[in-house]
Amino acid sequence: MDVEVLERPLPKPSAEDYVKARLLEALAEAGLALEYLRRGLVRNAAGKAFQAWRALMAALLRLELGKLKAVARSEEERKWLETTAVPRVPTSRMTALSQMFEDTGHTKLSFATDKALKLHDYQYHGPDPDMALSKYRTREEAAKDILLLLKELIQKVEDLRERIRWTPELENALKDLKRQLYA
């Protein structure tokens, strides 16, 4: 995967290419997570897997903004979705956002988001036999969840193929990630 994708300026959330850019970011971050896993850097891999999931959520937020606004409880929440959630995907609101996605028909998003947030904690606290700061007792437990999250990310990206303007760049990034994951 060409990590140059991560260095490009993001299009404005209102731009047509925003979803594509965020999907490419998700695939690039996922590829880096696998690279870090291969090197034995599980905490770094956990951070990249989290960033990949967060980028996917940003793409979905933009793509499903109309549906999400329809299930929002207030005008303030609808405005927040557009001005803050789409461009920033605040970590503190990822659980609530994933539950809103479930209300719009995106299955398993809430469960996968919980896994991403656990990995985010692991990135900072590492393995914790007492499970006070991290939900993973060992590096191996975290590594297994990284792989599970990346498999779910691939499935979610593949599900979007027919809903967006799919490009050769997206196709190549997806194929590269699948090759790395299933090799």
In a domain, 44, yes or no: yes
CB 86 within 8 A of CB 54: no
In a domain, 8, yes or no: no
In a domain, 99, yes or no: yes
Give me the domain span that covers residue 61.
Answer: 15-182
Mean pLDDT, rounded, for 114-133 = 94
Domain count, the chain: 1
**DSSP string for 3-69:** GGGGGSPPPPTTSTTHHHHHHHHHHHHHHHHHHHHHTT-HHHHHHHHHHHHHHHHHHHHHHTHHHHH
What's the whole-model pTM score?
Answer: 0.94
In a domain, 23, yes or no: yes
pLDDT above 70 covers a percentage of the chain that reads: 98
CB 146 within 8 A of CB 157: no
pLDDT band at 76 (very low <50, low <70, confident <90, very high): very high
Quick: pLDDT tens for 126-142.
999 998 888 999 999 99
pLDDT band at 13 (very low <50, low <70, confident <90, very high): confident
Mean pLDDT, rounded, for 20-41 = 97
Higher pLDDT, 25 or 11: 25
Look at residue 12 and tell me whether its pLDDT is greater than 90.
no
Task: Give Rg (Cα) of the chain.
Answer: 16
- In single-letter form, the type of residue at position 47 comes to G
In a domain, 9, yes or no: no
CA distance 41 to 78: 39
In a domain, 163, yes or no: yes
Mean pLDDT, rounded, for 79-104 = 96
Mean pLDDT, rounded, for 61-77 = 96
pLDDT band at 4 (very low <50, low <70, confident <90, very high): confident
In a domain, 6, yes or no: no
* Cα separation values, 151 from 28, 60, 121, 179, Å: 14, 17, 20, 12
